[in-house]
Chains A and B, each alone.
Chain A
């Protein structure tokens, strides 16, 4: 039976990485918030890899932190190994990745939620949405309880009608043997929401005691740790690190896979969902790249207080015995014991083209969604969307301006814009190559890019934003000083240059110009820079990057300027594209469906041509003048 239970401002369905950020953001902004999970032990669970960050994902985490989200702080508290990837490449693609103690990560996030004011945590499955008079009104749980609210954020991850598959075993369960959520999909369909069926997978976990690590390459963490959170200092979070190990598949592994392909649900057709190219199963890799002699396999500990080890690179839905046999072909794993079997998981998600850039459903006022439910993959992608959905749901309730980050401001902007503009037909993974202004969107400057926005929203403290403002000023002053300071062509300078194999100078040159030489940098120049002020590393690092890559940065800034012009030409939501005669038919259909917020977004829709954009501009002008 149905009974009235409680009243809230915001209801969050699901307490994974998206749900947690959404609930925290809304509660911290003063919204009375309730978050539901089918099992409270699964809050911020990491059902797949035990790591946070990596290329582009690390960028997302730092952006989340700069806006006032929790993921960065939480991983700083619970990491067991930290590395900055790509340090041999340019600063734009340096990427922070940490191995997490996934049990501590989950517990620690739960604790943060528990201690957040205005936030109620409840175990229970939401089965229905209440929607009338063009607005979301509340949710109903499996027990029949009704929760009234002004906004709902769906963050159900892979739980909706989840089915786990390996070999000929197919179980209707969520990840990690947790209960699936089987009712909500129907309610969504009733509301006219277009549902997709996606698939992803995870490898086996093995018992670390049964592995001979001496046969593998050890991968140790960095000596110097960069925290994810801009509010942490290295010394706050420094700790003993745990190693990962690298090994490889071989002929034997591939033979076992080939011999058992007919037993794979992927090839027998049992699995219908669309899987991501980004995390192919080992059977996929062996079939698609049959000429590759070996594939890398990383062994990653799942935590400090467990023997479970994650076998990265061996995601599989082959039968249990085949998984065991193939794992045992790897060097050092001859006697390994499986603790959890690898599986493929199918789940309901939505076509994200139904969403606005705020992550609110276009046709369902007050209903927001985030994470894997929106067709993405990855903890970080989920958290980023959760944060933005939580923020925007709150902004709407408070009658404040919506917060939409554009593609030139943040990876978060790229992620959400891709999802709501281009859609996706496989679980969407963030990649640095998706960001057109990659050189500007660095992980090292996420605070400079976004802190003021985080502060304006109300999630970032005054103290933190002031620190960023001071940092920016110091950077600018120092760059200015280096541009002004000239060194002459004297013997001291040229012997310094000689030492660095740098061409001697014949006439005076500024330190800023010298710094741009590939063989020199800010630190090296100390020797010939007598009146250098004492500055923090975070400042000098920015000075170095901003001067060294100045040419490229300037060019990208110019492109951004062009980009912003179209981004700021907003299209009213009620335009009837079908009635605009000059648009080609395909463009009319796409525009009617996607309802872009700006001319800029419209121009990124496939099937909308430059001529269509011209027509839209003319139409907009007509509207403006008709007023």
Chain B
């Protein structure tokens, strides 16, 4: 059997249920290290094609991550003709990511695009007529992964990975030059200095990992926009949502258009609020950027939150926007219900038909929980959807960061154990390659190029 691969097998948005699929020789062994059955069952003792109830527990913290059903399917009667384990969880996206990370940390490898299908075919599970389809899947998934990593390439992560990687390369070049040109007067590396340098790199990478946990490098989510007239309470809503949860406020201005983006999670669901420049200044977006631009924003959004003020009459602009959102995934918030009504909720309901509407008073903190629950329900029921690929990219990157950190730690212990420099180089090269996965670059001839640009060598 092949090495063990893992991936999130379900679309993250379809429901609360998500499946992590593992395939390969260690699939069951890896799952057993995470799975705790109330009856103390071990997966390896279970018969093939059984569903097992229990919990996933993080082995390093002993914390319960999710309540799950785990199916085990032994080769050869599986999709890939290898041992397959599927962990059915229902904790939403964040939990799914966590599960996947755990599985990877125990030795599984993140599946390449289309790899399950590829294995199914190579192991004889699919017939010859399906070969073309298999190739199409591989290419389509690769394209999608590439598309989603484009943002990352220019993103904050790669900007911060590159200097660390360059520093590693420079260290490797130093070691390699002194190995390949022993008769040249290349200064010996000082163990203490190298360890110091490695410690710094590790701490930089650790910081990156932490930000990854905070979601700062998760640059996607349910694209949400808030529209409404001046003083309707858009900025109060924004602040209320941001204040209540660990706000993931970026200081990176949106590269697109005239907007900023705010990130937050609601019940584990990532939300990206397009902060149209108007919101903060309590201006009217529609007035500021015009109806056609507003329409564009609404069309691009996965979710629209339309805000009305019950203390002032519905204006022509409001009617226009209500018309625009009729066919969209949208929620109508009726704010300021603590003040005198200028129209009846029933009238509003007749205007918006099936759209959910929620009376709120942001000032008195009334109605926010209902808003959150509504968003969650819409998401879990599948009525709002978003592209999940960036999450996988993100896990891939996080995993690569972790592996790079481990390699650098191994270098330190090699130095401390008085191992020779060529042994350090092994793990330095690994670290360099792992970081390369993040920015899509491989080793190639870069070491040799670096040696000859850094040192003057040769007869």
Scan residues 305-326 of chain A and give those whose CB is less than 8 A from a CB of chain B: 312-313, 315
Partner of B418, one of A432, A518, A611: A518
Tell me the bound Cα distance from A549 to B418 in angstroms: 11
State whether the Cβ of A570 lies closer than 8 Å to any Cβ in chain B: no
Interface residues on B, range: 35 or more
Tell me the bound Cα distance from A438 to B425 in angstroms: 10
Tell me the bound Cα distance from A617 to B121 in angstroms: 10
**Interface locus among A66-74, A84-92, A167-175:** A84-92
State whether the Cβ of A622 lies closer than 8 Å to any Cβ in chain B: yes
Chain B positions 103 through 130: 1 when the CB is less than 8 Å from some CB of chain A, otherwise 0: 0000000001111001001101000100
In chain A, what residue has the closest Cβ to B114? A614
State whether the Cβ of B180 lies closer than 8 Å to any Cβ in chain A: yes
Tell me the bound Cα distance from A292 to B122 in angstroms: 57
Known: A433-B448, A614-B118. A439 touches B138 (CB 8 A): no
State whether the Cβ of A289 lies closer than 8 Å to any Cβ in chain B: yes
In chain A, what residue has the closest Cβ to B141? A611
A-side interface residues, number (CB < 8 Å): 57
**Interface locus among A126-134, A277-285, A473-481:** A277-285
Tell whether, in the assembled complex, residue B135 and residue A89 are in contact, meaning their CB atoms are under 8 Å apart. Answer: no
In chain B, what residue has the closest Cβ to A280? B458
Chain B residues within 8 Å of A433, by CB: 172, 176, 179-180, 425, 447-448, 451
State whether the Cβ of B187 lies closer than 8 Å to any Cβ in chain A: no
Tell me the bound Cα distance from A586 to B203 in angstroms: 39
Chain B residues within 8 Å of A438, by CB: 422, 426
Scan residues 126-147 of chain B and give those whose CB is less than 8 A from a CB of chain A: 128, 131-132, 134-136, 138-139, 142
Tell whether, in the assembled complex, residue B423 and residue A95 are in contact, meaning their CB atoms are under 8 Å apart. Answer: no
Partner of B118, one of A56, A552, A617: A617
State whether the Cβ of B364 lies closer than 8 Å to any Cβ in chain A: no
Chain A residues within 8 Å of B131, by CB: 618-619, 621-622
Tell me the bound Cα distance from A95 to B131 in angstroms: 50
Tell whether, in the assembled complex, residue A618 and residue B180 are in contact, meaning their CB atoms are under 8 Å apart. Answer: no
Tell whether, in the assembled complex, residue A89 and residue B179 are in contact, meaning their CB atoms are under 8 Å apart. Answer: yes
Partner of A90, one of B136, B419, B459: B419
Scan residues 435-459 of chain B and give those whose CB is less than 8 A from a CB of chain A: 444-445, 447-448, 451-452, 456-459
State whether the Cβ of A626 lies closer than 8 Å to any Cβ in chain B: yes
Scan residues 584-617 of chain A and give those whose CB is less than 8 A from a CB of chain B: 606, 609-611, 614-615, 617
In chain B, what residue has the closest Cβ to A285? B456
Known: A622-B128, A625-B128. A617 touches B122 (CB 8 A): yes
Partner of A582, one of B3, B122, B135: B135
Partner of B426, one of A289, A519, A556: A556
Tell whether, in the assembled complex, residue A615 and residue B444 are in contact, meaning their CB atoms are under 8 Å apart. Answer: no
State whether the Cβ of A431 lies closer than 8 Å to any Cβ in chain B: yes
State whether the Cβ of B421 lies closer than 8 Å to any Cβ in chain A: yes
Scan residues 82-112 of chain A and give those whose CB is less than 8 A from a CB of chain B: 85-86, 89-93, 95
State whether the Cβ of A55 lies closer than 8 Å to any Cβ in chain B: yes
Minimum C-beta distance from B455 to chain A (A): 8
In chain A, what residue has the closest Cβ to B145? A611
State whether the Cβ of A581 lies closer than 8 Å to any Cβ in chain B: yes
Tell whether, in the assembled complex, residue B128 and residue A615 are in contact, meaning their CB atoms are under 8 Å apart. Answer: no
State whether the Cβ of B343 lies closer than 8 Å to any Cβ in chain A: no
Tell whether, in the assembled complex, residue B138 and residue A582 are in contact, meaning their CB atoms are under 8 Å apart. Answer: yes
State whether the Cβ of B316 lies closer than 8 Å to any Cβ in chain A: no
State whether the Cβ of B244 lies closer than 8 Å to any Cβ in chain A: no
Tell whether, in the assembled complex, residue B182 and residue A85 are in contact, meaning their CB atoms are under 8 Å apart. Answer: yes
Tell me the bound Cα distance from A625 to B185 in angstroms: 59
State whether the Cβ of B296 lies closer than 8 Å to any Cβ in chain A: no
Tell whether, in the assembled complex, residue A315 and residue B459 are in contact, meaning their CB atoms are under 8 Å apart. Answer: yes
Tell whether, in the assembled complex, residue A611 and residue B113 are in contact, meaning their CB atoms are under 8 Å apart. Answer: yes
State whether the Cβ of A295 lies closer than 8 Å to any Cβ in chain B: yes
Chain B residues within 8 Å of A609, by CB: 142
Scan residues 253-281 of chain B and give those whose CB is less than 8 A from a CB of chain A: none
Tell me the bound Cα distance from A614 to B456 in angstroms: 41
Tell me the bound Cα distance from A293 to B456 in angstroms: 11
Tell me the bound Cα distance from A610 to B110 in angstroms: 14
In chain A, what residue has the closest Cβ to B443? A436
Partner of B459, one of A86, A203, A277: A203
Tell me the bound Cα distance from A296 to B121 in angstroms: 59
Chain B residues within 8 Å of A618, by CB: 118, 121-122, 131, 134-135, 138
Tell me the bound Cα distance from A263 to B176 in angstroms: 35
In chain B, what residue has the closest Cβ to A622? B131
Chain B residues within 8 Å of A615, by CB: 135, 138-139
**What 9 A-B pairs are tightest by C-beta distance, nearest first?**
A90-B420, A518-B418, A582-B135, A289-B456, A611-B142, A433-B176, A90-B422, A277-B452, A279-B458
Residues of A within 8 A of B (CB): 48-49, 55-56, 85-86, 89-93, 95, 203, 276-280, 285, 288-289, 292, 295-296, 298, 312-313, 315, 422, 431-434, 438-439, 518-519, 549, 552, 555-556, 562, 581-582, 606, 609-611, 614-615, 617-619, 621-622, 625-626
Q: What are 26 A-B contacts defined by CB distance under 8 Å?
A: A48-B459, A56-B180, A85-B182, A89-B420, A93-B422, A95-B182, A277-B452, A278-B452, A278-B457, A279-B458, A279-B459, A296-B183, A312-B459, A313-B459, A422-B445, A433-B179, A433-B447, A518-B417, A581-B132, A582-B132, A582-B139, A609-B142, A611-B139, A615-B138, A619-B131, A625-B128
Query: Given contacts A89-B179, A90-B421, A296-B185, could you give 17 more A-B pairs where the C-beta distance is less than 8 Å?
Result: A86-B182, A89-B420, A95-B182, A277-B452, A285-B456, A285-B458, A292-B456, A296-B184, A433-B180, A433-B451, A434-B448, A519-B418, A552-B426, A562-B3, A614-B135, A621-B121, A621-B131
Residues of B within 8 A of A (CB): 3, 112-115, 118, 121-122, 124, 128, 131-132, 134-136, 138-139, 142, 172, 176, 179-185, 417-423, 425-426, 444-445, 447-448, 451-452, 456-459
